[in-house]
Structure 1
Amino acid sequence: MAEGTHDDGAADVLILGASFAGIELVHQLRRSARGRGLKITVVDRQAEHPYIPLVQERLVGRLDPANSVLPTRRSVEQKAAARYVVGDVVELDPDRKEVVLASGERLRGRFIVVALGSVLAPPAGIEGAERFVDYKFEGEFASAAQRLAALLGPGGEVSRRVSSGDGPYREGEASGPAGERPTIVVAGGGISGVELAGDLARLARVRPAGWRAPKVVLIHSGPRLLPHLCERAGRKAEQHLQAQGVELRLNTRLTRLAAGTAAVRPAGPGGDAVDVPCDMAFWSGGVRPAPVLARLPLPRTAAGWLAVGPTLQCFATPKPTRPDIFAIGDAARVQSAAGEWPTMQRAIECLWQAWLTADNLTRLAREAPEYPHGVPPLRPHTLREDFPHGVSIGDESLVVYGRLVVDFAAVNIWFRRFLMRQYIRRYS
């Protein structure tokens, strides 16, 4: 236990969130001699975590779900010899450095690291947004996989243009013939949307016995796919999706979901909304702050993310007043005198931030809790503007780095699976 930690019920490091950033922070702390002496408690709403970069392949049965999930709780408790608490964070007191869970349990730590991530959620302006099928997290994934199998499997029915009803796929909604080809709509033309549309379209060639191949429609509000990558990557993605039968609707916004239909309209001014068939819809148009972040009394950006300084501390004042609270991963946005840093918000950056935070925590842990000799200087995060991207598109796959686009599916797909196996092996 760190010097000066007197509360036997408190942890030295209390980590909120155990996805990429949180689990890597535990790993890095246990790699150093001083970090191995720290008492760690991890809180997460899940006991296991799917490998999110390939979650769309799990959804369509291309990957075995059992072999693409990290047993996070077991890893933390057995390999890292730390405490793991399954629960939802509802309150945080930054002065007491205390967290309250939905169960009522209270946890304290000398250091708190918030790594609560993001949610894949549509904007509130879409009518019927509750009909989108959530699939990112483990509980959501199980439900999404069941719904997809029910829609495409033997005896699955296709709902058609019924506007009554509150929720998705309710009993009593009118249905068309079971032999009809279901239509699945993917909203969002970034990497997640392109990959999901590609794997759904691949079902036309390879699918579980008895399944029907869906018609896949990708709706994107911009003029080209993969808007955050180079134009050539967007053109390649468009070509590969169209070759696999995906209907692309660019410069188009989805405005409403109802039973059996989706209303779309041109993204620019003017233009009327039209209904298109839609038996299932997935939102892949971007992430939003996890709702819990709005309840935490920590500095936030205008968009609702946690605002941190270059050292990833939440209270980044020139003279540190609360130096022991950090935020990393998708939840954090780095601020400096020059404004918000253009960090990538990717898994690799979560790992980099975890490495830095582990080093800074061990520096702080050398000092007495009240820092009678002052808070030691900490290392700042290094801004990296780019890193190679892997984009799988059904049977095709791209590697994109700057303006370089490598279109070599066999190697790219194998390498992404290799990274998944290495990730699970690293922590198991």
Structure 2
Amino acid sequence: MSRRSGRDPSHHVVVVGIGFGGLEVTHRLGRADANGGLRITAIDRSNHHLFQPLLYQAATASLAPSEIAWPIRSLLRDYGNVTTLLGDVVGVDRERNAVLLADGDAIPFDTLILATGAGHAYFGHDEWEAYAPGLKTLDDATGIRGKILTAFEKAERTADEAEREALLTFAVIGGGPTGVEVAGMIAELAHETLRPDFRDFDTRKARVILIEAGPRILSGFREDLSTYARTALVNRSVEVMLGEPVSNCTADGVQVGDRFIPARTIVWAAGVSASPAAQWLDAPADRAGRVQVQPDLTVPDRPNIFVIGDTATLAMPDGTPVPGIAPAAKQEGRYVAEVIEARLRGQPAPGPFRYKDSGSLATIGKRAAVVDFRRFSFTGWFAWWLWGIVHIYFLIGLRHRLKVILSWLWIYFTGQRSARLITKADATRGGKPG
């Protein structure tokens, strides 16, 4: 079945994936279409746009999922030339210029923008995913939250000390920003939030282990900031293991070198793999599956197909790839909108895409963060407040900003988290209390 709007024969842009890049380009094109010569179809497999930088806070019971996600239809409803579709894209027919959906539908396009993001990469061991879930979606976050909280519930009920120790051991694999943030938040959850709630054991005995195969955590930051982050984690009773990769993950724990660590909760933050967009397009890709795009973010020999965000790779002037972070995706979305507008107006396209690095931020826990603005860097409580201000600024809508501010202030002054819920589905994913 093929779909095409019968409203008019105007240029049809299809945007697949409404993450940071996809939302940015859709907003820009929606606002730019003053003469009605542009139709846009926005397709996503979820009905919500997710603020991924704070997803780990939903996984560790600091924020509710509704505070970091917004219905896509409500975000795009003010643009009369934008049609929003809930659908799972499974391919691209390059000959017919059509996007193929899992239900057999086909959406024709004049210009296509793929912003389909990335998933988890287990380095050839996809079987580990069953025991070490990653963190990319709201379902991932609520599943991990349920698993963490269920571990404490099980620990309260068991009389077996070895089993309790395994239940209270949380292994976080990967020392990038996500891994550091998750490890720090689990430690705070155990040492502050949950301590008054349990009677048969001391939650402060929980063991949080951050495992990084490289020589240091936060390898994308300056070495002094990496050292600060490690010290801050250790001061929060997080064990940081460096220089040894994980060789196996099971329901019982993780194997690191010649050591087996019994751990009933494992969180994977070690790697990502791009969506199958390169396969759909039969386009060149890097080892992670990202499409190797042209300087104008188009696919080689396909000037009407753009790929942006985590789905694409493009080298900066110094040879390093554009990072797979939200600011880069937004800049790419803004640039692609400018290219399309110029084409439709018959004007010269802007020059090659140039990423403007605005810096990096990561939080270790309450009152501790690292901020690297290249020329300036900060650590400690000031960095933590700065980190919070930056993230609140990028949230969508005054109501969400206020809710997140209030949640953070409540945690800051009381140490309590209000999102400590285990739903039936989450308990099933994380293991029901036994």
1:391 to 337, 349, 362: 362
Range that drifts further, 81-90 or 203-212: 203-212
Partner of 1:345: 324
Partner of 2:304: 324
SS of 2:262 mapped into structure 1: strand
Q: In the alignment, is residue 366 of structure 1 matched against residue 358 of structure 2?
A: no
1:221 to 197, 205, 213: 213
Q: In the alignment, is residue 276 of structure 1 matched against residue 276 of structure 2?
A: no
Post-superposition shift, 1:415?
4.5
Superposed, 1:16-415 pairs within 5 Å as 16-34=16-34, 37-78=37-78, 82-125=82-125, 128-153=128-153, 182-207=168-193, 210=197, 212=203, 214-265=206-257, 273-315=258-300, 322-334=302-314, 342-366=321-345, 376-384=348-356, 386-395=357-366, 396-402=368-374, 404-410=376-382, 412-413=384-385, 415=387
Note closer, same or farther for the CA distance 1:50–1:309 as it changes in structure 2 (3 Å cut): same
In 1, the alpha carbon distance for the partners of 2:241 and 2:85 equals 44
Amino acid at match of 1:240: A
Post-superposition shift, 1:10?
8.7
Please provide the CA RMSD for this pair: 3.2
Post-superposition shift, 1:53?
0.7
Post-superposition shift, 1:31?
2.6
Note closer, same or farther for the CA distance 1:424–1:81 as it changes in structure 2 (3 Å cut): farther
Q: Is there any run of 5+ residues in structure 2 with no aligned partner, and where?
A: 401-434
In 1, the alpha carbon distance for the partners of 2:67 and 2:10 equals 35
TM superposition score normalised by structure 2: 0.80
Amino acid at match of 2:358: F
Amino acid at match of 2:397: R
Q: Is there any run of 5+ residues in structure 1 with no aligned partner, and where?
A: 161-174, 266-272, 368-374
Instruction: Provide Cα deviations, 1:120-178, integer angstroms capped at 9, x if missing partner.
Output: 33212476343112332122223222222222236667899xxxxxxxxxxxxxx9656
Note closer, same or farther for the CA distance 1:423–1:49 as it changes in structure 2 (3 Å cut): same
Amino acid at match of 2:251: A
Amino acid at match of 1:131: Y
Instruction: Provide Cα deviations, 1:22-47, integer angstroms capped at 9, x if missing partner.
Output: 01111111232458642111111111
SS of 1:195 mapped into structure 2: helix
In 2, the alpha carbon distance for the partners of 1:223 and 1:53 equals 24
Note closer, same or farther for the CA distance 1:343–1:23 as it changes in structure 2 (3 Å cut): same
In 2, the alpha carbon distance for the partners of 1:35 and 1:21 equals 24
In 2, the alpha carbon distance for the partners of 1:280 and 1:181 equals 7
User: Aligned residues, how many?
Assistant: 389
Note closer, same or farther for the CA distance 1:35–1:347 as it changes in structure 2 (3 Å cut): farther
Conserved? CA contact 2:166–2:263, under 8 Å: no
Range that drifts further, 5-14 or 99-108: 5-14
In 2, the alpha carbon distance for the partners of 1:427 and 1:350 equals 25
Amino acid at match of 2:271: G
In 2, the alpha carbon distance for the partners of 1:17 and 1:111 equals 14
Conserved? CA contact 2:56–2:141, under 8 Å: no
Conserved? CA contact 1:151–1:157, under 8 Å: no
In 1, the alpha carbon distance for the partners of 2:399 and 2:193 equals 32
Amino acid at match of 1:387: S
Note closer, same or farther for the CA distance 1:300–1:180 as it changes in structure 2 (3 Å cut): closer
Range that drifts further, 79-88 or 241-250: 79-88
Note closer, same or farther for the CA distance 1:289–1:313 as it changes in structure 2 (3 Å cut): same
In 1, the alpha carbon distance for the partners of 2:190 and 2:255 equals 25
Conserved? CA contact 1:261–1:279, under 8 Å: yes
TM superposition score normalised by structure 1: 0.81
Instruction: Provide Cα deviations, 1:258-284, integer angstroms capped at 9, x if missing partner.
Output: 22221111xxxxxxx221121111111
In 2, the alpha carbon distance for the partners of 1:397 and 1:80 equals 42
Note closer, same or farther for the CA distance 1:63–1:34 as it changes in structure 2 (3 Å cut): same
Sequence identity, in percent? 25
Conserved? CA contact 2:91–2:100, under 8 Å: yes
Post-superposition shift, 1:332?
0.8
